[in-house]
Structure 1
């Protein structure tokens, strides 16, 4: 993984990860697994692969963005 993607804010399914603890591994919508370090509401950088998945009606895990 490149440093740019590591710094990017990944999106994740909130149904699969309803309340992750700090440092807990989460799988982002793009498939990258990384430790959770809190939600950033307005990140400077977004993972382009995650952004593309968010635009779809259904996530790869089968959930939708409406299921919160």
Structure 2
């Protein structure tokens, strides 16, 4: 995985991770696993894979997307 994606803001399924706590390792929509450090309203960098997957009708985990 490139460092650009490593530093990118990832999107997460809100049903799989309804109330993430700081430091909890989450699986992003793109499959990357990272500790959670809070939601960013306007991230400087956005993971392009997560950005594309976030608009899907159903996420890879099987939960409704959108």
2:26 is paired with a residue of what secondary structure? Answer: strand
CA positional deviation for 1:10: 0.2
Considering only aligned residues, what root-mean-square deviation do their CA atoms show, in Å? 1.1
Q: Distance in 1 between matches of 2:56 and 2:20?
A: 23
Residues 31-50 of structure 1 mapped to structure 2, 5 A cutoff:
31-50=31-50
Q: Tell me which residue corresponds to 1:54.
A: 54
Structure 1, unaligned runs of 5 or more = none
Q: TM-score, normalised by structure 1?
A: 0.90
- Cα deviation for residue 53 of structure 1 reads 0.6
Once the two structures are TM-superposed, the CA of residue 29 in structure 1 deviates from its matched residue by 0.2
* Alignment partner of 1:11 is 2:31: no
Q: TM-score, normalised by structure 2?
A: 0.92
- In structure 2, list runs of 5 or more residues that go unmatched: none
What per-residue deviation string (whole Å, max 9, x for no partner) do you get for residues 36-63 of structure 1? 0100011111100001111211100011
Runs ≥4 residues deviating over 4 A: none
